[in-house]
Amino acid sequence: MGQLLACSRRSQLKKFADEDPKSPYYAPPVDETIYIAVMGSTGSGKTTFINLASGSHLRASSGLESCTNEVQTSSPFNVGGQQVVLIDTPGFDDTTVTDTDVLRLIAAYLVTTNKQGARLVGAIYMHRISDLRLTGSALRDFRMFQELCGEEAYPNVLIVTNMWQNVTAEEGNERERELATKDIFFKPILDKHAKMLRHENTQKSAHSIIQNLVEKEPVVLQIQRELGEGMDITQTAAYKQLDKEMSELAARHKKELEGLREEMAEAERSQDEETRNELQEEMRKVEAELQQAQNQSSRLGSEYQAELRRIEEMLHVKDG
């Protein structure tokens, strides 16, 4: 893919890197660098892993509140004689941006860098072994990860479990076994040649994990291929999965509203003003959430195109 980058663009990238090496969009010469996308739920340790591996100082989230509300990249670092850059991404359960915004951000970055010849060799999905099980939001995030990557890319995918220090060996081993052997968790992707590895919270461990991807041939993720072929973002497999999730969420909101309306009618009959006011506030909240879910898809297409332009400008790799 490196041949896709014209000499003028390569010089622009190098100039930009020289000008601001600490930029979150630091872009070393494409043909000398491999890229690895790091994904996972909010608070799963993506940014911490990236900082530990690369010596970067990207801001990490604390708890379930995200600090990563855009795609950012590590400083380049060396693993096994190869220059590596890790791509930090927001999770689809992010507290500060909507799921469609997360899809827009990730898709636009991956498509732009692929277009310019960046050598993406794989993707890492981070999961806390300290979690008792995959929650609804974590399962949703993983399903989105699967659709972003596509089955053809699974041999270039690593499932990385972390936070082993927070569980006993017995607990961790049992959870790892469950994750690897149950169809609702990671078994389907592992059966198609993805790997599951442990991160021991050291730079040596992080580099050992990354070494599994260093010698891989570059891979085009499903979302990159679909959009690169001219598909509208709302036609992609990732969006269809997201739309399914949003439709289910909207149905739950509607059912909740029906229940609140029944409670409101009862409060009015009993002239319970305090309960009535509380229910009105709850109804306004649910109606706003329902409206937000319905509005997300309508603006995704135009905002995706705007994000493409923004990233091209940020990377100094505009066409022409």
Tokens of 263: 């409670």
The residues near 94 (Cβ < 8 Å, ≥ 6 apart) are 42, 66, 68, 69, 102
**Has residue 55 been placed in a domain?**
yes
- Examine the domain organization and report whether 88 and 121 are in the same domain: yes
- Examine the domain organization and report whether 126 and 48 are in the same domain: yes
The residues near 178 (Cβ < 8 Å, ≥ 6 apart) are 133, 185
Q: How far apart are CA 189 and CA 180, in angstroms?
A: 9
Tokens of 63: 């708890």
Q: Which residue has the higher pLDDT, 94 or 99?
A: 99
Residue after which a domain boundary falls, among 229, 254, 275: 229
Tokens of 13: 């990238």
**Has residue 201 been placed in a domain?**
yes
- Examine the domain organization and report whether 240 and 201 are in the same domain: no
Q: How far apart are CA 139 and CA 82, in angstroms?
A: 33
Half-sphere CA count of 186, side-chain side, radius 13 A: 27
What CATH number does residue 74 fall under? 3.40.50.300
Q: Which residue has the higher pLDDT, 201 or 272?
A: 201
Q: Give the DSSP H/E element, type plus range, for residue 251.
A: helix 237-269
What DSSP designation does 44 have? Answer: S
Q: Which amino acid is at 111?
A: V
**Has residue 12 been placed in a domain?**
no
Residue 125 and residue 10 in contact, taking contact as beta carbons nearer than 8 Å: no
CA distances from 314 to 5, 109, 308 (A): 16, 11, 10
The pLDDT-based confidence of 320 (bands split at 50, 70, 90) is very low
Residue after which a domain boundary falls, among 178, 209, 229: 229
- Examine the domain organization and report whether 110 and 244 are in the same domain: no
For residue 98, give its domain range: 33-229
Domain count, the chain: 2
- Examine the domain organization and report whether 108 and 245 are in the same domain: no
Other beta carbons within 10 Å of 123: 26
Q: How far apart are CA 295 and CA 172, in angstroms?
A: 41
pLDDT tens-digit profile of 232-248? 998 999 999 988 877 77
Residue 53 and residue 210 in contact, taking contact as beta carbons nearer than 8 Å: yes
Q: How far apart are CA 144 and CA 284, in angstroms?
A: 29
**Has residue 8 been placed in a domain?**
no
- Examine the domain organization and report whether 187 and 240 are in the same domain: no
Q: Where are the alpha helices (DSSP H) in 32-167?
A: 46-54, 99-115, 136-149
Q: Quick one: which of 301, 261, 268, 304 has its CA closest to 284?
A: 261
- Examine the domain organization and report whether 95 and 145 are in the same domain: yes
Record the pTM: 0.79
Q: How far apart are CA 143 and CA 146, in angstroms?
A: 5
- Examine the domain organization and report whether 84 and 142 are in the same domain: yes
- Examine the domain organization and report whether 269 and 140 are in the same domain: no
Q: Is the dihedral of CA 28, 123, 231, 306 positive or negative?
A: negative
Q: What's the average model confidence in pLDDT over 37-61?
A: 91
Q: What's the average model confidence in pLDDT over 93-108?
A: 86
CA distances from 210 to 57, 142, 257, 306 (A): 19, 20, 48, 32
**Has residue 183 been placed in a domain?**
yes
pLDDT > 90? residue 289: no
- Tell me the average pLDDT of the chain: 82
- Examine the domain organization and report whether 53 and 66 are in the same domain: yes
* Predicted local distance difference test score (pLDDT) of residue 297: 65
pLDDT tens-digit profile of 169-209? 999 999 999 999 999 899 999 999 999 999 999 999 999 99
pLDDT > 90? residue 73: yes
- Examine the domain organization and report whether 56 and 182 are in the same domain: yes
**Has residue 123 been placed in a domain?**
yes
The pLDDT-based confidence of 61 (bands split at 50, 70, 90) is low
Residue after which a domain boundary falls, among 198, 229, 260: 229
Q: How far apart are CA 312 and CA 291, in angstroms?
A: 32
Q: What's the average model confidence in pLDDT over 300-315?
A: 78
> Which residue, chain included where needed, has tokens 């940020």?
314
**Has residue 23 been placed in a domain?**
no
- Examine the domain organization and report whether 171 and 282 are in the same domain: no
**Has residue 25 been placed in a domain?**
no
For a pLDDT cut of 90, what percent of the chain falls above it?
51
The residues near 158 (Cβ < 8 Å, ≥ 6 apart) are 122, 123, 124, 125, 194, 195, 196, 197, 209, 212, 213
The lowest-confidence range among 137-141, 189-193, 252-256, 306-310 is 252-256
Residue 191 and residue 157 in contact, taking contact as beta carbons nearer than 8 Å: no
